[in-house]
Structure 1
Amino acid sequence: MQLLPMTRDNLIALRVTDTLTTEETAQFKAMVREVVEQYGDVRVYFEMLSFDGWQLDSFLDNALFDIAFANRYSKVAMVGEKSWQAWITKLADIVKRGEVRYFDVHERMEAVEWVQHGSLRTMEG
């Protein structure tokens, strides 16, 4: 898991590759808690390159955390390259209060603009 330079204020920007471990999930949760404590809500840019998914215990732990913090996510951009990643984004959209949107990896710049400044309405119409 790599923290990206655009991380600032209430935006956490991450790039994940391979398999997300329990330790990395714990780091992410700590970042979310810290941002929520300071700003009240959190925006997330989650870029998945050659990403295989989560360790099982990590996936379950992250899912429960997302449910507990559902009202604190204002915007989540998930950027990926595999069809299952788009599917998991749809599941995340059910859980999280804010806007959740999937972008193909070639739409990376649009995802950055959307999570930083835009909204679905301004970006699509």
Structure 2
Amino acid sequence: MLQVINLEHEDLIAAKISGKLTEKDMEKMHPLIHNIIKKGHKVDFYFEMEDFEGYNLKGFWEDLKIDLAHLDDYGKMAFVGNKKWQEGTAKAADFFTNSEVKFFDISEKVQAKKWINLN
């Protein structure tokens, strides 16, 4: 499940992620991304992962399509979690995008928010 937690910054999407992400979750993100791009900004992301289990197949496919369409539109990405594989997810995002990507342990949530300018 994807729960948007902050849209107050004009170039940042902040969300809590738990369980498995689905196609419907990804469909929520796409218009948010487009709203920021239309304003001429790069899209920054803050993802707080709590009990995150990954994607179902349709969710993964939809996320991949969105990311491929917007590779040059992403700015900074902060991933906050507590599992080693989640850190691997952040490293994969860093490899496949032109974004500045950082993984933060859940104990470093305050630092992650400061780094992404979510205060």
TM-score, structure 2 as length reference: 0.91
Tell me what 1:114 maps to.
Answer: 115
> Deviation of residue 29 (structure 1)?
1.5
Residue 71 (structure 1) aligned with residue 72 (structure 2): yes
Gaps in structure 1 of 5+ consecutive residues: 118-125
Tell me what 1:53 maps to.
Answer: 54
The 2-side partners of 1:7 and 1:88 are apart by 26
Q: Which SS does the other structure have where 1:12 is aligned?
A: strand
Tell me, yes or no, if the aligned pair for 2:6 and 2:15 is still in contact at 8 Å: no
Q: Which SS does the other structure have where 2:75 is aligned?
A: strand
Tell me, yes or no, if the aligned pair for 2:6 and 2:13 is still in contact at 8 Å: no
Aligned pairs (5 A) from 1:6-45: 7-45=8-46
With 22-31 and 56-65 compared, the bigger mean Cα shift is at: 56-65
Question: Counterpart amino acid of 2:49?
Answer: M
The 2-side partners of 1:6 and 1:107 are apart by 21
| Number of equivalences | 117
> Deviation of residue 8 (structure 1)?
1.7
Of all paired residues, the percent bearing the same amino acid is: 30
> Which is richer in helix?
1
Tell me, yes or no, if the aligned pair for 1:7 and 1:13 is still in contact at 8 Å: no
Tell me what 2:97 maps to.
Answer: 96
The 1-side partners of 2:7 and 2:100 are apart by 19
The 2-side partners of 1:76 and 1:87 are apart by 14
With 2-11 and 73-82 compared, the bigger mean Cα shift is at: 2-11
Distance 1:7 1:56, change over 3 A: farther
Q: What do you get for the CA RMSD once the two structures are aligned?
A: 1.5
The 2-side partners of 1:6 and 1:40 are apart by 14
Gaps in structure 2 of 5+ consecutive residues: none
Tell me, yes or no, if the aligned pair for 2:13 and 2:44 is still in contact at 8 Å: yes
